Amino acid sequence: MSTTKQVKTWFQIHKWTSLICTAFLLMLCVTGLPLIFHEEIEGLEPRLAPTLPASTPKVSLNKLVETGLQANPSKVIRFLYWDDHQPNTVTLSLSDSLTAPPTNFKTVIMDERTGKVLEGPNDQEGFMYVMLQLHTDMFMGMGGKLFLGLMGMLFVLAIISGLMLYGPIMKRFDFGMIRTEKSSRLKWLDLHNLLGVVTVAWAVVVGFTGVINTLSEVVLGLWQVGQLAEMTAPYKNAAPLTGKLSSLDQAFEVTRRAAPEMEPYLVAYPGTMFSSKHHYAVFAKGKTPLTERLIKPALVDAKTGKLTDMRDMPWFVNALFLSQPLHFGDYGGLPLKIIWALFDLVTIVVLISGLYLWFARNKATKAQIARMGQSKAKQIENAEILTLNSPATDD
């Protein structure tokens, strides 16, 4: 393929991938800004649990579950977990039934030292909830997630095609040039190119991890039909559970003994999507900043209280868990989050300038076609592609 055809091909790829995804990328960048600082924003919320002496003993998990269900007699418990932003609390996720859809739930927050039910905020309202839903699925569920994943892939392709166009140009010009003596369109073009190259590594990382995050339900589904099915296979033909379940405290204790370097943080009850009909699924995470994103599931027989299996997650599940904090810059504390926010703002400028350049180029091309006639349309389009970055080019 000739150089001219290569440039035209990359130009068309860059143009159309950018045009298709830009509006959605702008929305993701705007909603992503407050989400970068979600931990700091959530930290401003008042603590639900009162201050008590550090030596205050904790109520047993069995007692907490019993109290939570007594306050909600028509509900069943599906999950129990700890919220890092609300110390000294345990959260129960209740539902109308174990087979109800994931959106059917009610959270009950309890003081793990007194066993009292606390008045918590509504997690399904407010500014941060709206930002999160727009950013993850646009309130469209899994279909919205997959659509945004497609937009993320187009964004990555737009970045690659932009580099393929910008690389040959920089062989002829100084890096970072801004042709201020030329037209407004050329100044914006140079600024668009410069900012795009400066943020390229960040944009690829955030775009790629964003695509991975949109596949979370697919990834967890593969884990369910793969590793989880293998772990629960010996119980496939077992009789249904009857009577009282074994101690939840015991399930956590056997998990701690099996993985002393990890800390249990969530349990899925028997019959839920992340367990089996016969097990507590206790999920443990590492205790250090480097390992806290690596999850290990333990299956505890809900009748006998014995550990039946515990394995490391498959690589593709770990990739998902590791990509989630990287997407929002959660690995390096506030300094990294500030850098992430600055790159986000620069990317907004790149996206807006790209739209401006397309509209300006389209307008200029139409004006020339009107002056010169339709027979020159193809030549003008080719000239726009091949000479736009020439020093002699002007509007």
What are the tens digits of pLDDT across the range 158-171?
A: 988 888 877 666 66
Give residue-wise pLDDT tens across range 175-225: 656 666 667 777 888 788 788 888 888 999 999 999 999 999 999 999 999
Average pLDDT, the chain: 86
Comparing 4-8, 72-76, 205-209, which segment has the lowest mean pLDDT? 4-8
Instruction: Find out whether 159 and 204 touch, Cβ atoms under 8 Å.
Output: yes
Inter-residue contact 9 to 1 (CB < 8 Å) = yes
Residue 395 banded pLDDT, cuts 50, 70, 90 = very low
Instruction: Write down the pLDDT at residue 324.
Output: 85
SS3 content of the chain, % helix, strand, coil (to 5): 55, 10, 30
Rounding to the nearest 10 degrees, give the CA dihedral for residues 16, 176, 184, 182: -120
242-258: pLDDT as tens digits: 888 999 999 999 999 99
pLDDT of residue 377: 57
Q: What does the alpha-carbon distance between residue 218 and residue 240 come to, in Å, rounded to a whole number?
A: 28
Sheet strands side by side (includes 279-286): 117-118, 106-111, 89-95, 76-81, 262-268, 279-286, 295-301, 307-310
Range from 97-101, 152-156, 171-175, 259-263 carrying the lowest mean pLDDT: 171-175
Per-residue model confidence (pLDDT) at position 81 = 95
Looking at 261-270, 284-293, 304-313, which range is the least confident one?
284-293
Which band of pLDDT confidence, cut at 50, 70 and 90, is reported for residue 80? very high
As a whole number, mean pLDDT of residues 346-354 equals: 91
Q: What is the dihedral of CA 26, 27, 28, 33, to 10 degrees?
A: 90
